[in-house]
C-alpha cells in the first residue's frame, strides 16, 4: 500500500541511481535460447549486514512469453539485477533488474537480530548452452556489484518438465502472441470454490481500474490478461482480522514486517507455480478481503484487497511499483522521516535528489520558464493534507517539486500531483514515460 512501501523504498533508496550502462543490445533470441522458460529457485538468506544465495531447483515452465527482442534490460531498475552469460562466448545474453522481499526485510529491525531465508526465483528464456547466472546488487553508491554466480548446464535439466497445477484459467483480454504482448496473470488468494464468481467480478474490477488510467488505457491492445483460479481450502487472508489464520493458498498475509496493512506472500515459489500456468510478465494477486491492504514490488507481484472502496487506486498505484519500479512520491506518512537525504541519485524514474539541477533526469520534459526547483503550496498542503490544485501555480507542468519518496526535503517529484503522490487516478507524465519505456521492451518485435 502506498503508505507501507516505506521499507521497500529505504532499501532501494540506499542505493543510487547510476544504473550500469545498458549492455549491448541485439542478441538474437534463437541463437542463444530455446522457446521455453527456465525458472531458477533459490533461497536468499542473511541479516541486515550479510546475504547469501543457495540454489534450490530449476524448472521448465513451458513456452516463453517474455521479451524476445530486447533481451538485455536497458533500464536495470531495482535493487538487484541478474545476467545470463553465455560461457562459451562470454556474452551477456539476457539481463533483468528486480526487487525482492529479502531486500525489504534487510531494512527491518528484525534483520539486525535474525538470520532468515526467503524463497526467490528468477525467470528467463531457456539457454541452449552452458551459462553463468550472475546476481548483482547496488552498493551504497548505487553501482551494481556482483554478489553471486552459478554455472549451469541446461542439458542437465532438459527433462525437468514441470507439472502445472490443475486449475481453471480464463482469458479476460487476449490481444495476441504473448511474446509481443505484456502478459498479466491475475491470481486468487483466499477464494474458495464457492467464491469463483466473486473472483471473476474482482478480475473485472481490476481490468476496469487498470485500463481507465494512462498509459494503459490507450495501450490496451498491448496487453493480455489471464485469470488463474488458484482456489484456497478456506476463505480469507491471514491476519485480515486478529488471530485469523486461514489456509490461503498463496500465503498472503497482512502485517508484513509488522505493518498492519502491508501484504506480501511468504510463498513466492507457490505464487510462481500458479502464475506459470500461463505465460506471464507481471503478477496481480487479488485477495478475498475487505480489509484495506496490499503491496507492490518491482518485477515480483502486487497484492491488493479487491473489495475496498479505494480498490481501483490501490491496484493501479501498486502496478506503478510492479511494472516500472516507480517510487512513492508522497512523503507525509509518519515513518517518512526515518529516511535520510541521499548522497546519490535514486534509480527510480520519478524521483530525484536534484543533486545537480542542470542534469535533472526528466529535463527534456520541462518547459522553458519553469523554475527548478518548482514552487508549490507545500506549507498549505502539509497543514491541510489536501492539494488545492486550482491554486497551484505550476499545476500540470513538469518541474521538480520538493517532497517525495518519504522525504519532505531533499527529494523531488516531477509534477505537483500523481497517483504515486495522492489518490488521484492519473500518473504524471514522467511516470507515464517510465511505464511506457518498460512496456515497450515487452512488445518490441
Q: Which residues contribute to the site for Zn ion (CB under 5 A)?
A: 350, 418, 420, 428, 431
> Is the bond preceding 25 in cis, omega lying within 30 degrees of 0?
no
Question: Which phi and psi angles does 104 have, rounded to 5°?
Answer: -70, -45
Nearer residue to Zn ion within complex by CB, 275 or 431: 431
**Nearest CB to Zn ion, comparing residues 63 and 410:** 410
In what helix (H) or strand (E) does residue 34 lie, and over which residues does it extend?
strand 33-46
d(CA 146, CA 240): 39
Q: Could you tell me if 253 and 271 are in contact, meaning their C-beta atoms sit under 8 angstroms apart?
A: no
Please, which residue, 283 or 428, has the CB nearer to Zn ion?
428
Contact at 8 Å (CB) between 402 and 409? yes
- Strands, E assignment, 87-115: 92-98
Distance of closest approach, residue 349 Cβ to Zn ion, in angstroms: 8
The CB-of-278 to Zn ion minimum distance in angstroms stands at: 30
Distance of closest approach, residue 431 Cβ to Zn ion, in angstroms: 3
Instruction: Tell the smallest beta-carbon distance from residue 376 to Zn ion (Å).
Output: 14
DSSP codes of every residue in 357-409: GGG-TTGGGSPTT--SSPP--HHHHHHHS---GGG-TTTT--S-EEEETTEEE
The three-class DSSP label of residue 107 is: coil
Quick one: 1 or 420, whose CB is closer to Zn ion? 420
Q: At its nearest, how many Å lie between Zn ion and the CB of residue 105?
A: 27
When the beta carbons of 55 and 389 are compared against Zn ion, the nearer one is 389
Instruction: Give 195 or 415: the residue with its C-beta nearer to Zn ion.
Output: 415
98 pairs with which residues across the strands? 80
Q: How far is the CB of 440 from Zn ion (least distance, A)?
A: 18
Amino acid at each position: 500500500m502506498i503508505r507501507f512501501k516505506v521499507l521497500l523504498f529505504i532499501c532501494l533508496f540506499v542505493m543510487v541511481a547510476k544504473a550500469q550502462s545498458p549492455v549491448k543490445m541485439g542478441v538474437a533470441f534463437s541463437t542463444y535460447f530455446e522457446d521455453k522458460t527456465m525458472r531458477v529457485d533459490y533461497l536468499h538468506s542473511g541479516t541486515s549486514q550479510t546475504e547469501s544465495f543457495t540454489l534450490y531447483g530449476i524448472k521448465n515452465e513451458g513456452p516463453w512469453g517474455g521479451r524476445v527482442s530486447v533481451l538485455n534490460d536497458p533500464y536495470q531498475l531495482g535493487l538487484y539485477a541478474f545476467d545470463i552469460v553465455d560461457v562459451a562466448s562470454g556474452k551477456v545474453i539476457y539481463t533483468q533488474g528486480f526487487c525482492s522481499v529479502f531486500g525489504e526485510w534487510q531494512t527491518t529491525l528484525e534483520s539486525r537480530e535474525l538470520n532468515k531465508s526467503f524463497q526467490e526465483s528468477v525467470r528467463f528464456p531457456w539457454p541452449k548452452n552452458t551459462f553463468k547466472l550472475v546476481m548483482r546488487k547496488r552498493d551504497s553508491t548505487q553501482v551494481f556489484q556482483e554478489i553471486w554466480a552459478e554455472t549451469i548446464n541446461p542439458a542437465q535439466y532438459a527433462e525437468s518438465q514441470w507439472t502445472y497445477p490443475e486449475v481453471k484459467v480464463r482469458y479476460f483480454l487476449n490481444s495476441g502472441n504473448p511474446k509481443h504482448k505484456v502478459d498479466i496473470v491475475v491470481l486468487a488468494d483466499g477464494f474458495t470454490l464457492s467464491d469463483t464468481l466473486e473472483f471473476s467480478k474482482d478480475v473485472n474490477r481490476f481490468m476496469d481500474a487498470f485500463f481507465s488510467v494512462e498509459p494503459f488505457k490507450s495501450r490496451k491492445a498491448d496487453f493480455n490478461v489471464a485469470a488463474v483460479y488458484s482456489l484456497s481450502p478456506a476463505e480469507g487472508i491471514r491476519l485480515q482480522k486478529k488471530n485469523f489464520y486461514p489456509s490461503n493458498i498463496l500465503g498472503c498475509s497482512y502485517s508484513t514486517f509488522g505493518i498492519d496493512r502491508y501484504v506480501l506472500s511468504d510463498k513466492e515459489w507457490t505464487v510462481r507455480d500458479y502464475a506459470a500456468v500461463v505465460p506471464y510478465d507481471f503478477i496481480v494477486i487479488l485477495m478475498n478481503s475487505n480489509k484495506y491492504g496490499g503491496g507492490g514490488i518491482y518485477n515480483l507481484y502486487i497484492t491488493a484487497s479487491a473489495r475496498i472502496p479505494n480498490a481501483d487506486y490501490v491496484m493501479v498505484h501498486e502496478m506503478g511499483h510492479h511494472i516500472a519500479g516507480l517510487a512513492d512520491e508522497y512523503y507525509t506518512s509518519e515513518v517518512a522521516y526515518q529516511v535520510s537525504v541521499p548522497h546519490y541519485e535514486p534509480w527510480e524514474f520519478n524521483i530525484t535528489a536534484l543533486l545537480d539541477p542542470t542534469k535533472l533526469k526528466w529535463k527534456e520534459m520541462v518547459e522553458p520558464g519553469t523554475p527548478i526547483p518548482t514552487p508549490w503550496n507545500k506549507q498549505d498542503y502539509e497543514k491541510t493534507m489536501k492539494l488545492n490544485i486550482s491554486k497551484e501555480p505550476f499545476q500540470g507542468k513538469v518541474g521538480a517539486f520538493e517532497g517525495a519518496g518519504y522525504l519532505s526535503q531533499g527529494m523531488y517529484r516531477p509534477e505537483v500531483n500523481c497517483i504515486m503522490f495522492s489518490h488521484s487516478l492519473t500518473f504524471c507524465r514522467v511516470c507515464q514515460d517510465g511505464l511506457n519505456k518498460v512496456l515497450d521492451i515487452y512488445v518490441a518485435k
